[in-house]
Amino acid sequence: MWGRLSFIGDGWQADLRLHNQRPGQNVSTYLRARDGGGLEIINNAYNFTTWSVDDFGTMFMRGQQILNTDGNLYCTYRNAWMSAILDDLYNRDNGKANAGATCQPYDFAEFGPLRQSTGTTTVDAPDTWFVKGIRTDNWNGDAAPRTLFLRCTRIRNT
């Protein structure tokens, strides 16, 4: 024999049966020439194409296009191509600061007052606010502040 081994017949879609006769098996798998070029793998009952590749290299599983020649993989569990999943992840990550990044202040407020004369001895800044300083309205003669305000800011990633 020389050249290529060919299975040819008019009106026939060439196939090759691989039969397993190990004890308890007696099953077959069929390799078949795909319409338009390529290869199909047919199930034992010969009623469904479980895997195929077209003439350009695109892969199909159970009739669903799964792998493109550019490497893009279809993820049936997400009903999306891998490129779209990765784009989504990159887009979400792009809005976050990297470890060690400097956050920027975006809002300022003063909370208070703390006033000894009225017995106001506690002032809290709300959640998400950070104290950045203290302000007083004036000083009395012995250099003690009469009223104090907490100067606060909020920060965010930019």
At 79-110, the pLDDT tens digits run 999 999 999 988 887 777 777 788 888 999 99
Is the pLDDT confidence value at 130 over 70? yes
Q: What is the pLDDT of residues 107-125, one digit of tens each?
A: 999 999 988 778 888 999 9
For position 85, what pLDDT does the model report? Answer: 95
Q: Average per-residue pLDDT in the chain?
A: 89
Q: Report yes or no: 18 and 28 within 8 Å, Cβ to Cβ.
A: yes
Q: How far apart are CA 77 and CA 72, in angstroms?
A: 15
Residue 151: name the closest of 110, 113, 112, 115 by CA.
Answer: 110
For position 143, what pLDDT does the model report? Answer: 59
**DSSP assignment, residue 127?**
T
Q: How many CB atoms lie within 10 A of CB 67?
A: 16
One-letter amino acid identity for 63?
A: G
Q: What is the pLDDT of residues 48-66, one digit of tens each?
A: 999 999 999 999 999 999 9
Q: What is the pLDDT of residues 1-43, one digit of tens each?
A: 678 888 888 988 899 999 999 999 999 999 999 999 999 999 9
Q: Answer yes or no: pTM beyond 0.75.
A: no
